[in-house]
Amino acid sequence: MLKIRSTPVFPAGSRIGSSMKRHMLIAMICMAVVTIEAGISSAQAEGVVVRTRTDVDPPPPSEAAQAFIETLDESQRRHAVGAINAPDRGTWTYFPGPRSGLRLGDLQPEQRVAFDRFLSAALSKTGVRRVREVLAIEPISDRGGGVRTGPGEYWLRFYGSPEPGRPLTEDDDAATGAATDAAPRAWAWRLEGHHLSLNVAFVDGQIVSVTPFFFGAAPSKHADFGEPLALDDVRAEQLLSALDPIQKAAAMGIGPAPADIRSGTGPRPKMPREGGVKAETMSKQQRATLDGMVISLLDIWPAGTTDHLRKRWMATDPETVRFAWAGSPMRRGPHYWRVQSPALIMEFSNSSPSVDHAHLVLRAADDEYSGR
């Protein structure tokens, strides 16, 4: 059984700056003996460690979402829940600062338990672990003007009704996305703050969109919590190393490494000009590495829920799929890479001179914000 590191996803207080403080915190939390299988999530602000049952399967995300919402008071619901076509749906950012939604640092203990159960239902164990790693290294800071970063500075927002026939706002059923005889039922959720943006949309109980998706890490490597984006970056480096000289020249022919991801944060991604090596020219092993880079992100959601998205990717014409790399050909130097097709772009940037600030994004050209 894989054990999770013995700090909560949302630790309390200031960032641990001394070995003594770190060991005291670890010793205190180790008494909880929390595992990934126990479903620990990113909701444990103020140092609360939540235990969940390991001998039962998590409920469907819609049930877990509804159960969480039922723990909220009227004021909290107004912040947490909006219509499926709410104006703020269709906007996202990875910059620090307040968002619409319910701030996780404001949750009461029983609400944190319910949020933990929702996240364990909405993500796979791999997904919970990866989110935890991203949040564990997020520094606590006050940048002035109400802009803060830290474990409690993430906002949860629901759009539409997770449960049929139970609208979550005072609007009518059509506005909240509740099912009718003539229309499919759509709902969505978003968890977002600095260096994290998860956006998931459901139609008739099936995940139809998991983008925009964003992970970030600064520092990109942490002495205690490792390198959250290493899985993706290592695979990209392996693919670059496996290319023959002609393929590598094509992959690295896109110019210097940009300062950050290029697809932006608009309602639709900005698709960079074509460039890079075509998947059509790759060997079976090279193509398997390329596919693994995209498919591994779909492992963040529960098994079986994104199979149709995997099939859609695997059916993409290899003539239209390209892999590109810029900057240092080694991960230890400033670099940027992307996987691009007409329907999808996956970008990674760790191009600062210090190689210590990494961003990873997945965008779809026309499938985002379903039901809006």
Q: What is the DSSP code string of 15-61?
A: PP-SHHHHHHHHHHHHTT--BGGGT--TT-GGG------SSSPPPPH
Domain-located, residue 214: no
Instruction: Using alpha carbons, list the distances in angstroms from residue 183 to 119, 159, 178, 267, 363.
Output: 28, 16, 9, 24, 27
Residue 343 counted as domain residue: yes
Domain identity same for 192 and 257: no
- Residues 188, 49, single domain; the answer is yes
Query: Which domain, by its residues, includes 349?
Result: 230-364
Tokens of 327: 């900057």
Q: Are residues 40 and 103 in the same domain?
A: yes
Same domain, 77 and 197: yes
Same domain for 52 and 163, yes or no, is: yes
Per-residue pLDDT of the chain (372 residues; tens, 9 = 90+): 333 333 333 333 433 344 444 444 333 333 332 322 333 333 343 333 334 444 467 899 999 999 999 999 999 999 999 999 999 998 999 999 999 999 999 999 999 999 999 999 999 999 999 998 998 888 888 888 888 888 889 999 999 999 865 544 444 444 444 444 445 689 999 999 999 999 999 999 999 999 999 999 999 988 888 899 999 999 999 999 999 999 999 999 999 999 999 999 998 999 988 899 999 999 999 999 999 999 999 999 998 899 988 999 999 999 999 999 999 999 999 999 999 999 999 999 999 999 999 999 999 988 788 777
Shared-domain flag, residues 326 and 196: no
d(Cα 131, Cα 340) in Å, to the nearest integer?
24
Q: Is the residue at 370 inside a domain?
A: no
179 and 242, same domain (yes or no): no
Q: Could you tell me if residue 29 is inside a domain?
A: yes
| Total length of the chain | 372
338 and 261 part of one domain: yes
Total count of domains within the chain: 2
Indicate whether 52 and 100 sit together in one domain. Answer: yes
Helices (H) and strands (E) in the chain, counts: 10, 14
Identify the CA nearest to 122 among candidates 135, 111, 133, 131.
Answer: 131
In-domain check, residue 5: no
Same domain, 180 and 236: no
Whether residue 344 lies inside any domain: the answer is yes
Both 173 and 265 in one domain: the answer is no
How much is the pTM? 0.81
173 lies in the same domain as 136 = yes
Task: Answer yes or no: are the C-beta atoms of 105 and 153 closer than 8 Å.
Answer: yes
User: Taking the CB of residue 2, how many other CB atoms lie within 10 A of it?
Assistant: 8
Does residue 223 form part of some domain? no
In a domain, 198, yes or no: yes
